[in-house]
Structure 1
Amino acid sequence: MTHHSAEHRPQAMNDCIDNCTQCHAICLETINYCLEKGGKHAAPEHIALLTSCADICATSASAMLRGSAVHPVICGACAQVCDQCAADCEAMADPEMTHCAEICRRCAQSCAAMAAQ
């Protein structure tokens, strides 16, 4: 058993890993939804932001799982990207997008807390 196992990580970090993992998944699912919907949903800037959010969430979760010393820096960046993505999704005023925004906000909050430690 390594010290990187879930039992040995602080609960806040385990929660943050879960939030990042869920946010990564919802962003990928939302990209598919947006491309199918077309119009403003499929705008390149919007898709690029969702893609960046998915990427940074995956990177953030990986850094924490590895016990990387740079995880606070990555979590800080992740919080900012998640906040921007949430705002973008909220502006769409669509139930699917609102759901994505909620997951992004939750991830942003837990990542901001990790970054502050």
Structure 2
Amino acid sequence: MTATQTHNSLLESCVEACLKCLQDCEVCATACLDSEMVQMMANCIKTCRDCTDLCELCTRLMIRNSDLHAQLCDVCAEACDRCAAECSKHDHEHCRRCTESCRRCAESCRQMSMAMA
């Protein structure tokens, strides 16, 4: 596999991970907002929203092959780690799915960032 093929494979995987994470974080935040315990879920909602925004921006920069996407992947991985840590505290199916997606996305973003270093 050539360096270009490896990069394209990493890029495709990372875009997919970011989009799945964006979706699961959006669903989680919405479910938390709709719950009767919305105040108790405030940190979950905040971290999901941060993660969603960064996943979207990271995806856009990767697709356009921006020179900044490696740095943003680092930031996105941090947001995913924080969101996974918060969501893992809650016993809801949407939080469990969000935690799993965030962990996969964080790993994929770190791989992308290291490949670009």
TM bin, normalised by shorter chain, reads 0.7 to 0.9
**Counterpart-to-counterpart distance in 2, 1:42 and 1:33:** 13
Q: 2:87 aligns with which of 86, 89, 92?
A: 89
SS in 2 for 1:39: coil
Q: 2:34 aligns with which of 18, 36, 40?
A: 36
Contact 2:27 2:94 (8 Å CA) reproduced: no
State the shift of 1:53 in Å: 0.4
Partner AA of 1:67 in structure 2: N
State the shift of 1:46 in Å: 2.2
Cα RMSD after superposing both structures: 1.9
SS in 1 for 2:67: coil
| Residue 21 of structure 1: aligned partner | 19
Unaligned ranges ≥5, structure 2:
none
| Residue 60 of structure 2: aligned partner | 62
> What TM-score, normalized by structure 1, do the two folds share?
0.86
Partner AA of 1:105 in structure 2: R
> What TM-score, normalized by structure 2, do the two folds share?
0.86
Unaligned ranges ≥5, structure 1:
1-6
Identity among equivalent pairs (%): 30
